[in-house]
Structure 1
């Protein structure tokens, strides 16, 4: 309770009790966050005793960098329900999310600066231009846009989303300079129209309709996952379920049977098709394991399976020669 005759206090006393400036009290009052109880005969603001705690709450909320609009929602909820609940939870969650984005951006900028600082002087200008073209934290939208232009136009949206989930690498939370460089190079690689002047869609992937596209990419995803298991174990390309699933995906998409003749034709078609090895090499640098060992990508799994297919054809050809 204030010591004045009416139990109210002026703006100066309120500011002193709450540990803020008079200017701050005036700002919150004018913003509608701190209502006045009345005005004196001379037009001076008068505040009720509960204004001290309300002002301290406002100060605490603002100290967490919550915007005035969020503070107003928290106060309105407290006025209505007698306590801060969902509005405060939402405001804190939103602020944590924003802070996480800022921290990721700072870590990315730090790694980018280290990259420029640590490279040879004659390369610094080029590195600076390369990493300067990428936002911090970096967006994967250009990578997704590249793949949407590369994939069959009739491919179902659900299949496209499933493919993008594995084909578009997420930027590391705490990148090193080498990862910043890899992502910047990846960004530069895809930053252009997929119109035939750059990496193009393989002929073997140009399925006739939406169903065939979905069948092909679903089958390839399963085959790549099986191949990745063996690759992590250090296995050389070999026959087995992964290779059978790989061939079967192409066979079913083309509405044909998996025969020795089909495998020979498929091996030749895949060997002659356009490749985007550089994309997968840079992706592997981004998602490499903490011990430095490469993590399989759809591109490296495809190469592993193609090598297994070619080995199989060579083995069949050798056996036929002996026969």
Structure 2
């Protein structure tokens, strides 16, 4: 309670009690966050006994970098319900998301700067241009656009999303310089204009319609998961459940049976299909630990299955 004849206080006393400047109190008042109880005969602002607690609440919210509109929503809800509720919860959650994004950007920038710093002096300018083209935090949109252009047309949206989940690597939350470099090289690879030396789409794309493409890629995703599990165990390629699912995906998409002749034909076709080895090599660099066994990718799983089918080894593009 303010020690004045009318229980109110002036802007100077309120500012002093709250530990803020008069300018700050005036700003909150002019913003509508801190209502005045009245004005004196001389036009000076007067504040009621609840103003000090309200001002402290405003300061706490602003200390968390909540914007003025969010602070107003919290205060309005408190005025209406007598306590802070969902508006405060939403505001805090939003700030946590924003802070998380800022921290990811800072970690990415730090790793990017270290990548430039650690490379040979003669390569630093080129390294800086390569890495500087990537946003912080990094966006996978260029990779998704690349695959959307590569996939068969008119594939169902669900099938496209499932494939993108597998084919588009997510940058690490706490990247090392090698991760930043691999991701920058990936983005540069998929963003450069195509020319006559670029691989064309696999033959399977040309033969399958929208429905058959969805069947094919759904089956391939399951086969890659099974092959990836075998690869994590360190097993060499061999005929088994993963290969059966791999072949069945192609057979089902083409409405034919899985026979020895079909497998021989499929092996010959896949051995000559276009390859984008570099994409999968960079993906493996991005998603694998810096030491230890590489993490399987759709490309390396496809390679494992091709070897099991009897084709030549090598990282290939899913056909």
Question: TM class by shorter-chain length?
Answer: over 0.9
Cα root mean square deviation, aligned? 1.4
Which aligned segments of 4 or more residues in structure 1 are displaced greater than 4 angstroms?
A: 193-197
Displacement after TM superposition at 1:205 (Å): 3.5
Name the structure 1 match of 2:303.
303
Displacement after TM superposition at 1:197 (Å): 5.9
Is residue 2:115 matched to residue 1:115?
A: yes
Name the structure 2 match of 1:86.
86
Are the counterparts in 2 of residues 204 and 270 from structure 1 also a CA contact under 8 Å? Answer: no
Are the counterparts in 1 of residues 267 and 311 from structure 2 also a CA contact under 8 Å? Answer: no
Displacement after TM superposition at 1:201 (Å): 1.7
Point out the more displaced range, 189-198 or 28-37: 189-198
Displacement after TM superposition at 1:195 (Å): 7.9
For structure 1, the 5+ residue unaligned runs are: 313-323
Are the counterparts in 2 of residues 204 and 269 from structure 1 also a CA contact under 8 Å? Answer: no
Please give the TM-score of this superposition, normalised by the length of structure 1. 0.94
- Count of residues in Structure 1 that have an aligned counterpart in Structure 2: 312
Is residue 2:175 matched to residue 1:175?
A: yes
Are the counterparts in 2 of residues 11 and 47 from structure 1 also a CA contact under 8 Å? Answer: yes
Name the structure 1 match of 2:145.
145
Are the counterparts in 1 of residues 271 and 311 from structure 2 also a CA contact under 8 Å? Answer: no
State how far apart, in whole Å, the 1-side matches of 2:165 and 2:305 are: 21
| 3-state SS of 2:135 partner | coil
| 1:87-134 CA distance string (max 9 Å, x none) | 000000000000000000000000000000010000100100000000
| 3-state SS of 2:46 partner | strand
For structure 2, the 5+ residue unaligned runs are: 313-319
| 1:110-160 CA distance string (max 9 Å, x none) | 000000001000010010000000000000011111000000002111000
Are the counterparts in 2 of residues 159 and 217 from structure 1 also a CA contact under 8 Å? Answer: yes
Are the counterparts in 2 of residues 152 and 207 from structure 1 also a CA contact under 8 Å? Answer: no
State how far apart, in whole Å, the 2-side matches of 1:200 and 1:39 are: 77
Displacement after TM superposition at 1:192 (Å): 3.7
Alignment of 1:1-323 (within 5 A): 1-192=1-192, 198-289=198-289, 291-310=291-310
| 3-state SS of 1:70 partner | helix
State how far apart, in whole Å, the 2-side matches of 1:203 and 1:9 are: 81
| 3-state SS of 1:46 partner | strand
